[in-house]
Amino acid sequence: MANYHLSTQTDYDKYARDGSNRSGVFLYHPQPNHKRENDYDDNQARQKTPDHGGRPLRPSTCGKSQHFSKWRYGRIFGSTGGQKTEKKYSNLWLTQTDGGEPLQFTHGDQSDTGPVWSHDSERIAFRSDRTGDDQSQIFVVPVHGGEARPVTEMKGDFGRMEWSRDGKRIAFEFREKSKEEIEREADDQKKELGIVHRRFTRIWYKADGEGFIPSERWHIWTLEVKSGKTTQLTFGETHNENNPMWSADGSEIVFESNRSNDPDQTPHAIGFYAIPIDGGELREIPVPAGEKYGHSVSPDGKWLSYVGRDGAGDWWRNDHLWVVPFDGSDDPKCLTEDEDVCVGDMSIGDSGEGGLSAPAWSHDSKTLYYQISMHGNTHLVKLDIESRHRTEVAGGEGVILSFTVDTNTNRAACLFSGRRDPGQIISIDLSDFKRTQLTDLNAFLRDKVEMGEIEEVWFQGPDDNDLQGWILKPPGFDSTKTYPSILEIHGGPLAQYGNLLMHEFHYLSAQGYVVYFTNPRGGLGYGESHSKAIDNNWGTVDYDDVIAWNDYVQNLPYIDTDRMGVTGGSYGGYMTNWIIGHTDRFKAAVTQRSVSNLVDFYGTTDGNWIWEEVFGGKAPWDDLETYWRQSPIRYFGNVKTPTLVIHSEQDLRCSITQSEQVFVALKRQGVDSEFVMFPGESHGLSRAGRTDRRIVRLNAISEWFDRYLK
């Protein structure tokens, strides 16, 4: 990869092609993305459709027609009056399960999202805003010819949906718009004036990337596909109902909901409930309180599987695989309790921050397929629910970002990412685990872009703990020369770096830097003793591990120890702040969307009060010293490192006030520093922000390091 500088005026398309933008390269994930960063209850903070900001793909299988459906995500760039504009869009694509060229199924610059196959493989239901009124509706399109037709006419937000087995109905989640919002949109004057005020009664009232949470709740509905008749099955102003799924016999719909008296105060009290398809009394399927994601019903109707944990607190614990009798006749069983492995994808890359595909059943209801994260990879495995014997289906280096299983053809469809590719669809024959790659959407990365070599390293930590790291060398690396270097630190902290593409790393490497990264204690993928190590103990062994990694790298003969930099975002920004307050070994730092003061971090984020679980179980007013002791800003009297501060103005995950304190403290200390703010952007700027702003961000990082390291 040649050195290049990204220009907001001339290099939009080049930037898209170089891999960070999902412009016609990535595919979009139509299922809820259960993010582990900050580890709070996703169900309490859902905005718009639950897949906004999710993984780039969840391929879905279609047995009869031997197709996989997918979702292509792109951007259109135009120029009006000399101003660059950007239009995000997504279309549906199909590809044969045995290979062949992908076929674009829908066209246009609208957003077609969330495709779901009917069970007979003849129709696809999806959401689309193609009506042009900023309101998505459910559409149904025949697979073998014919126009997509809208089957709903509702005002509000649509979420997950699923076809009934007979193809006559669709169950879906929906949140109605308030009457006030509908009236405001219909009145030009009120629409122009906008919202006059906001008034909240719930403690959980905002979500990063979405804004303020409406008071209306998500409920379960059904749709009669032929007539378009919709029926609301669940009601109430307190509880959300999410992720509807049909029972095996089609008589009930099961969903997840926190039905405690105050879900905001007890966010872990998530349970499963079933309701007759024509409405009626709810039936609870008893399960212990705790985080729960991705449930699915076994084909024989006897079991409900899910991923989660039992009990509240212990934020560092692994997620496990569970089953419970669908009729509620017995207690749930944890199928992976004897394994110190985290279920789900916890890997951080350009395509997201980890996610979860619901465990999938085999046709005989004896086996479950699911993801596990370990040592920088995410594998697809299967488990015999009787013997609890686990078999690897798709392993090796790389990350299974998402998957589905088709029991009719005994195949799995997966989105797989490796070190040099943001993601391709692969098909796996579940009888012999043979893989077939079905797409080659990023061939230019392989054929036309020179990328540096990545070396995987295991090294000894400060407490004789084994640690894993990666070293990305510049293109054209010469071992006889010395290079400036940049240490990257991941967010979370419940996450892992690993074997998937990080465009930012390759961009910095292309500027002539050695980029190196590791998974210090506090992250996932290495067992619970690894993740638990920083429970109410931030800035201790995690810092020790990061410094041990730097010690290892700076002893390499090609590293110039006078030209070392450090950067990270979110928790990685926290650790960057901590580092510059405790050592001046780095000649420059870039702290991004960071945390600096845990005292006023409490209650000002969309994580809300849940930080009590992370920092000893008490609020700051009951244990101020615990929060202050672990706050990087406390140690800023020691800072000497020139530091660039980057933050988005609409970041509701880590408030911009955290970086404002950093910037003011740096200036007051006489430290060289600058502050780059991005208006209109959220915590997810680096992956989902407006393209010109993402370009400016990357340029700002490289220019800062160039100033002090070259």
Q: For residue 347, give the amino acid letter.
A: S
| pLDDT in the model for residue 252 | 98
| pLDDT in the model for residue 45 | 31
- Helices 571-580 and 541-554 pack at an angle, to 10 degrees, of 70
Q: Which of 525, 529, 542 is nearest to 375 (CA)?
A: 525
Q: Among the residues of 479-560, which ranges form H helices? A: 503-510, 528-532, 541-554
| pLDDT in the model for residue 194 | 84
* Owner of token pair 């990063």: 208
Contacts of 377 (CB under 8 A, 6+ apart): 347, 395, 396, 397, 398, 399, 498, 499
Q: Is 683 a catalytic residue?
A: yes
Q: Which of 345, 357, 358, 352 is nearest to 304 (CA)?
A: 358
Q: Give whole-number Cα distances, 338 to 87, 306, 418, 423, in Å.
A: 49, 17, 29, 32
Topology of domain 450-596+631-709 in CATH is: Rossmann fold (3.40.50)
Residue from 128, 164, 531, 570 carrying the catalytic annotation = 570
Confirm if 662 and 577 have CB atoms less than 8 A apart: yes
| pLDDT in the model for residue 356 | 86
pLDDT in tens, 79-120: 233 344 566 789 999 988 877 888 899 999 899 999 999 999
Please give the Cα distance from 592 to 491 (Å, whole number): 10
Please give the Cα distance from 288 to 461 (Å, whole number): 37
| pLDDT in the model for residue 79 | 26
End-to-end CA distance of the chain: 19
Q: How does the average pLDDT of the chain come out, rounded?
A: 88
Fold agreement between 19-444 and 450-596+631-709: no
How far, rounded to the nearest angstrom, does the alpha carbon of residue 609 sit from its chain's CA centroid? Answer: 21
Confirm if 160 and 171 have CB atoms less than 8 A apart: no
Q: Residue 103 burial (CB < 10 Å; 0-12/13-18/19+)?
A: exposed
Q: Which helix (H) or strand (E) holds 580?
A: helix 571-580
CATH code for the domain defined by 19-444? 2.120.10.30
| pLDDT in the model for residue 411 | 94
Q: Spell out, as residue ranges, where the chain has pLDDT lower than 70.
A: 1-87, 351-352
Contacts of 202 (CB under 8 A, 6+ apart): 213, 215, 264
Q: Residue 437 burial (CB < 10 Å; 0-12/13-18/19+)?
A: exposed
Instruction: Tell me the pTM.
Output: 0.89
Please give the Cα distance from 380 to 392 (Å, whole number): 6
Confirm if 292 and 304 have CB atoms less than 8 A apart: no
How far, rounded to the nearest angstrom, does the alpha carbon of residue 320 sit from its chain's CA centroid? Answer: 18
Please give the Cα distance from 124 to 30 (Å, whole number): 13
Return the number of other C-beta atoms located less than 10 Å from residue 358's C-beta.
Answer: 23
| pLDDT in the model for residue 196 | 87
Return the number of other C-beta atoms located less than 10 Å from residue 154's C-beta.
Answer: 17
| pLDDT in the model for residue 73 | 39
* Domain residue limits, the chain: 19-444, 450-596+631-709
Confirm if 68 and 61 have CB atoms less than 8 A apart: yes
Residue from 29, 490, 683, 702 carrying the catalytic annotation = 683
Confirm if 695 and 15 have CB atoms less than 8 A apart: yes
Which residues share a beta bridge with 424?
A: 416
| pLDDT in the model for residue 442 | 84
Q: Is 506 a catalytic residue?
A: no
Q: For residue 663, give the amino acid letter.
A: F
